[in-house]
Structure 1
């Protein structure tokens, strides 16, 4: 049996990835497939924390651009991530995986409040911890949440799961057939080239904490397991090229 390369990881799921081909809402088939992939690596002994986005339901930036107060729009986006977290929790538990949802905004009827030590204890007990509601603050993305929580729980790597994009390109490969894929990048290259791996706040936080990022396509079955076992797929972002 293949052995995992990483003991503790943060998996960042975008809202778009959960929407599937529909582009909006939650695709039951995608949620189920994602849950099965997460179960595979949990059974290998890897401790998994998941950060979910909410772009398949609501985007704070979009609401702000339409005249809504930015803080209000961002709080609405945080609530959207809770919906996705609960859907993923249900799919995981239907597949026999123990989970806990922790939110940065208290809503005790449906989830635990985020407590760092409690989250780490859940991970040590082989439970998948799903972090929802972002950082609990407006003006911060779920990418920044992933970088922050990864540092807090001492994860080894952030897995950036993308929807039908198998890495980082110099331009959008869905609209430009000549787009060049990067096999490896440094944090500074991502910032200087303006590449859309994460927002600049998240990348800077990863750089400060020397947190490796792996960007890969989650829609291809088995990719999470391939990354965990050390197979080079997607694009790796770290301090120095190797």
Structure 2
């Protein structure tokens, strides 16, 4: 998948610089192992499972950084079409509006244009993954006790980029001929966060309620037992 993505998308349009793993580190080896599994065509559901004997936090850290890079690449390719005029509010269709809160400048959930929300989101994630106290790179330095909680928040917010791209900009993805690659990236993300229990199922509702996306990703049939409500009549205002 990674090779295909690089072929389809213009790497010069990456929304943010890619975060890389230091060669020789355990996380670098895990990253190579995960990429090898994906490139070998192994089933995605199997590829995301924690390898025997490996540390869960290391496995999650590798994937959080990888998904940040991939989703970065996807949004960077369509961001010129995501403007304050086309997307005056960060949303996922008519029912879901995502409001920004960071306890710094925006201490209360605030409605923002999608590109501004994306900038704040990517800035915030960069701060997290470059913070040695949260994502330590030195061997023997432990992860913080709240590491998984931080990763849950990062992944939850990254998922909203998928939602916005799918619902508001998927026509551009199709024009680029990248539909299959974005779908695969989403499936990989979805299988990982559900396998590792890193996203509340309620957060997945915007894409589940989109029948076209459900068919494209073959997710609706896999979540038949999730018992999620799709009868919400009012827009849900979500911040996290």
TM over 0.5: no
TM-score norm. by structure 1 comes to 0.32
Higher helix share: 2
Instruction: Report 1 or 2 for greater relative contact order, CA contacts < 8 Å, sequence distance ≥ 6.
Output: 2
